[in-house]
Structure 1
Amino acid sequence: MGFNYTNGFHDAANAIATSVSTRALTPRVALGVAAVGNLVGSFFGAKVASTVGKGIIDPPTGTKGLGVVLAALVGAIVWNLITWYFGIPSSSSHALVGGLVGATFFAPHSQIFWKGIYEKVVVPMVVSPIVGLILGFIVMLAVMWLFRRGNPGILSRGFRHAQTLSATAMALGHGMQDAAKTMGIVVLALVTGGFHKGASIPVWVYFLTAGVMALGTYGGGWRIIRTLGRKVIDLDPPQGFAAEATASAVLYLAAWKGLPISTTHTITSSIMGVGSTKRVTAVRWNVAGNIVVAWVLTFPAAAAVAAVAYFVIRPLFN
């Protein structure tokens, strides 16, 4: 739940940064929308939870396995806090997967499913930002063409209202992805410790996970909100709507397929794609470059921290 809370305030920007930056929603209203969306969306993320819970690692059983899970979460939490402190919108999802791999790598009687990681994590990690970038560009071109004769003032007000819907859709997608990943970890811990059998998700896990993430989301993540909503590009309401609509569509498709993709990567690349329709130089590529570097570092950095944490806490779980 500690990781879950950091995920909520770390990734709140995914759902609300564009709405706040375009003044479509006030910050507190936007955070409320994001919190409720995360709560509802979690109930539609069972496939993603299953992938995380049983498709990435097979830890040892008993207390030793619980030590592996704890070390993995420590790795993810530390990386979330580091990137939050510097205002970098990195992926909590990939920090979690990296933590699982790092903690399991040195654990005896355990297994890492490298094929599953490649097919369900690495490939989607690469493909989803590309899809977001291209689709965001196309969607924004379509919006510009459809409303090319409209009154700018009226259109701006209309798209501000539309962003309420797109921000809600984005929050639902975040719940389907990120809340579901935490549910998968909870089930993994329950099964490893002998408290649960099978891959089914107990009802109380849905409410606990979604509730804590909602609290974390409402707590806010203003450093990352400023980066994503203002430093990458100055968005107007039509651009904000196009970016959120694009990202949420990609998230829904991935959740339907049970693929744990990064909401951060998806919305950030969608914003870049939308901004490129104005002109390529409208995107602050130096800021975007720093974000991409953080993306690349997330998996190995979280894995390294988790590996160190495992060696520290392993004596406590023998």
Structure 2
Amino acid sequence: MFTLLVIIIILALVFDYINGFHDAANSIATIVATKVLTPFQAVLWAAFFNFLAYFISKYWIGEFKIGNTIAKTVSEDFITLEVILAGLIAAITWNLLTWKLGIPSSSSHTLIGGFMGAALAHAFTIPGADINTVINYAKVIPIVLFIFAAPLIGMVVAYFITILILNICRKANPSKADKWFKRLQLVSSALFSLGHGANDAQKVMGIIGAAVIFYEMKIGNAAYLSLESADRFSYFVDHYAWVPITSFLMIGLGTMSGGWKIVKTMGSKITKVTSLEGVAAETAGAVTLYTAEHLGIPVSTTHTITGSIIGVGITKRISAVRWGVTISLLWAWILTIPVSAIIAAIMYYVVSLFT
């Protein structure tokens, strides 16, 4: 069983790395599109702030709410190491497939869908199990709602920030203003990268936490058995301090690897973005991510920045947004959880044959 736990931790960190390069475009698409930084400079910039987010979550916010949410999306009664392994394999498969196709799907929802799908498959193998109790709906429903809420919030906030900036700068010299906004893009990109790191690294922490808690309880660790379910994740974070810092480090390393097909989609295919609009989109995205983190709701950084870029595009005219591309992205978002769940369910039965 210990060997399986180690495999899960390694795979979770691999997923974290893949998440980084899959989502690199979220933080850097606009600064690359506006030529503020070269792609290589941009990924270094984003990766640094991805990792810096660890210290903000740990020492400023003081807790890892999103990791706790992920760990509890499935009832503890239906969590096994096989369930977690199958969910991770499904999430990695879907992430690599969408990366290969250049589709900016959600790593968050991939992971959640995989976890739930494998847990449901496991429940069906238990005689008399109540399938309705497998998923913790109090945790999952807000996550599903934010599939739509996060891009909508990003869009609305970006729209009003852009309008506000345009009104403030309407008499400014265009050349001077552009230089200032290119500098400000470094700030807005850093803010978004902090939100990206804090949001996405914690999801892997949640999965590793669920695996470690199951293992410790299975071997009869009195410390975990004596705790209420609500307190076990905090205990895990305190006693496996290397997990949070490694999770943030891996997502930073993944971001340094980049994801250039997705950069192209985010940076130019949805709508053409100027430096001013890049500042507005990234700032709106950061506001949305920080709000979600405060609420402890895992959201997709991909959905968030896409909505923000659309909000910027709408300020020019509705037709400035390439709605054909946007609708394709929407379908990818909607399908991510169910497709990941189906892949994970199949993988659970495959994994069960070898464990």
Range class of TM-score, shorter chain: over 0.9
1:159 to 168, 178, 181: 181
- The one-letter code of the counterpart of 1:53 is A
- Looking at structure 1, the residues matched to 340 and 116 of structure 2 have their Cα atoms a distance apart, in angstroms, of 9
Q: Is the 8 A contact 1:57 1:100 kept in 2?
A: no
- Looking at structure 2, the residues matched to 69 and 55 of structure 1 have their Cα atoms a distance apart, in angstroms, of 12
- Looking at structure 2, the residues matched to 277 and 27 of structure 1 have their Cα atoms a distance apart, in angstroms, of 27
- Looking at structure 1, the residues matched to 283 and 195 of structure 2 have their Cα atoms a distance apart, in angstroms, of 11
- Looking at structure 1, the residues matched to 252 and 155 of structure 2 have their Cα atoms a distance apart, in angstroms, of 28
- Looking at structure 1, the residues matched to 301 and 75 of structure 2 have their Cα atoms a distance apart, in angstroms, of 22
| Aligned position for 2:335 | 297
| Aligned position for 2:200 | 178
| Aligned position for 1:271 | 309
- The one-letter code of the counterpart of 1:47 is K
| Aligned position for 1:199 | 233
Structure 2 SS opposite 1:199: helix
Q: Is the 8 A contact 2:105 2:332 kept in 1?
A: yes
Structure 1 SS opposite 2:37: coil
Output aligned runs, 1:30-45, within 5 Å.
Answer: 30-43=42-55, 44=57
Equivalent pairs, count: 313
Output aligned runs, 1:133-144, within 5 Å.
Answer: 133-144=155-166
Pairwise CA distance, 1:60: 4.2
| Aligned position for 1:112 | 135
- The one-letter code of the counterpart of 2:112 is V
Residues 1:26 and 2:38 aligned together: yes
- Looking at structure 1, the residues matched to 77 and 337 of structure 2 have their Cα atoms a distance apart, in angstroms, of 19
| Aligned position for 2:252 | 214
Q: Is the 8 A contact 1:59 1:68 kept in 2?
A: no
Deviation track 1:90-148 (CA, whole Å, cap 9, x = no partner) reads 10001111101111112136822123211x31122221111111111111111110101
1:244 to 268, 275, 282: 282
- Looking at structure 1, the residues matched to 52 and 209 of structure 2 have their Cα atoms a distance apart, in angstroms, of 19
1:102 to 114, 117, 121: 117
Point out where structure 2 has 5 or more consecutive residues left out of the alignment: 1-12, 58-62, 225-231
| Aligned position for 2:60 | none
Structure 1 SS opposite 2:83: helix
- The one-letter code of the counterpart of 2:166 is M
| Aligned position for 2:191 | 169
Rg (Cα) greater in structure: 2
- Looking at structure 2, the residues matched to 96 and 123 of structure 1 have their Cα atoms a distance apart, in angstroms, of 16
Structure 2 SS opposite 1:193: helix
- Looking at structure 2, the residues matched to 115 and 5 of structure 1 have their Cα atoms a distance apart, in angstroms, of 29
| Aligned position for 2:101 | 86
Distance 1:59-1:310 versus aligned 2 partners, 3 A rule: farther
- Looking at structure 2, the residues matched to 50 and 114 of structure 1 have their Cα atoms a distance apart, in angstroms, of 15
Pairwise CA distance, 1:58: 2.5
- Looking at structure 1, the residues matched to 75 and 273 of structure 2 have their Cα atoms a distance apart, in angstroms, of 40
What is the alpha-carbon root mean square deviation over aligned residues?
1.5
- Looking at structure 1, the residues matched to 341 and 295 of structure 2 have their Cα atoms a distance apart, in angstroms, of 26
Pairwise CA distance, 1:193: 1.6
2:84 to 54, 69, 72: 69
Query: Which sits farther off after the overlay, 50-59 or 231-240?
Result: 50-59
| Aligned position for 2:67 | 49
Deviation track 1:202-228 (CA, whole Å, cap 9, x = no partner) reads 220012111111111101100101100
- The one-letter code of the counterpart of 2:193 is A
Distance 1:49-1:245 versus aligned 2 partners, 3 A rule: same
Residues 1:16 and 2:9 aligned together: no
- The one-letter code of the counterpart of 2:43 is L
Identical amino acids, percent of aligned pairs: 40
- The one-letter code of the counterpart of 1:146 is I
Residues 1:131 and 2:153 aligned together: yes
Pairwise CA distance, 1:54: 2.0
- Looking at structure 2, the residues matched to 246 and 56 of structure 1 have their Cα atoms a distance apart, in angstroms, of 31
User: Normalized against structure 1, the TM-score is what?
Assistant: 0.95
- The one-letter code of the counterpart of 1:130 is L
Pairwise CA distance, 1:3: 1.0
Q: Is the 8 A contact 2:19 2:254 kept in 1?
A: yes
